[in-house]
Each structure stands twice: as structure tokens, then as C-alpha cells.
Amino acid sequence: MTKQYETYQVEVGEVTRNLRLFEVKPGLRIAILNILGDTPLVQAASSELAQRLQGIEYTALVTAASKSIPLVYQLSVDTGKPYVVLRKEYKTYMGDAIKAETESITTGTLQTLYLDEKDFDLVKGQRVILVDDVISTGSTLKAMRQLIEKAGGGVAAEAAIFTEGDPDDWQHIIALGHLPVWVDE
């Protein structure tokens, strides 16, 4: 038997999903977007974002592992631009990787992001677009920006399927929609 959860309905292009509400800390719930394995939603989001990125000059797309990897891959296919995945764990084959730290709202822990040495040329001296599935606190974006700057690159724009929290904080983000947060009183 499937357990019933409270949900929040969203639409991306012609795709509709009911996102489960999840308590991230006492009294605070958010709608969880998990695009892993949801090809129709990823394709719809990529198509919409690709249209909104037209006219922006950039050389590559950059995201942080792991939930937004399908989105950045499809966006790469749709735009013809290469993509870079900033990893959350260092592996020796990554060479002289650059790192930055961030705190995730969904895990509540400090995370480190690494730019693999093999991807330096896609970033150094280039302008990139930072891509995420949902931007909640901006901490992941901050770490991604730090890595791009350390590698000698710049950020042309920041994009996401959804923003979350105070909409005024995210007016500069190219997003397909905004998710509210639920605060129990």
C-alpha cells in the first residue's frame, strides 16, 4: 500500500508533477523536486530553460552533483554547449582539483564541491551558466561561483527549474517557477 503525503502541484511545460512536502527542520516544510529518473520532466525543463538562455553568451554549463546532472546533460544536448559537473567527493584521478564549501538545506551538513582538473579549460577565461534543479538558500550557487572564479572564469547567468523561499532573493535567476515554503506556526 502506498503511503499518502501532502503534495504541491507544479507544471513545467506540459508536464505536471505533485511534489511531496518534506520537513527539513521542525516547523519548516519544502516541496521536494527529484528529477532523477523523470525523463519527461527533465526534457520539458531543459527545453524551457534552453529558450530562456538564448541571447546569453557563454561557453559551458556548470552544475553541482548530483540531482541536477540529468538536467545539465539534457540542456547540453539542447543547446550544443558542453557541461561540467562539480563533484562532492575528491577522487585521485581528478588531479589538482579546486574546491569550495557549502551547506545544503536538504542535508543540513557542510559539503565540499570540487572542479576536476580536466574541466579547467572549459572554465578558465570563459563565461559559464550555473545550473541547479532548485535554488533554496543559494549556498550551492555561492560555492559554484567561488570555484568558477578560482579557476579564472566568470558567470554569465544562473538558472534553475525552480527557486524557493523569498522570491525577491531570486529575481536574477533564470527560473521556470517558484516554490513556496511552509512554516508551521
**Residue 16 burial class via C-beta count within 10 angstroms: exposed 0-12, middle 13-18, buried 19 and up:** exposed
Q: What is the CATH number of domain 36-177?
A: 3.40.50.2020
Query: How many whole angstroms from its chain centre is CA 156?
Result: 15
pTM for this predicted structure: 0.93
Q: What is the number of other CB atoms lying within 10 angstroms of the CB of residue 112? A: 14
Give percent above pLDDT 70 in the chain: 96
Mean pLDDT of the chain: 94
Of 49, 5, 3, 66, whose CA–CA distance to 30 is shortest? 5
Residue 105 has pLDDT above 90, yes or no: no
User: Hey, where are the domains in the chain?
Assistant: 36-177
- The yes-or-no verdict on residue 5 having pLDDT over 80 is yes
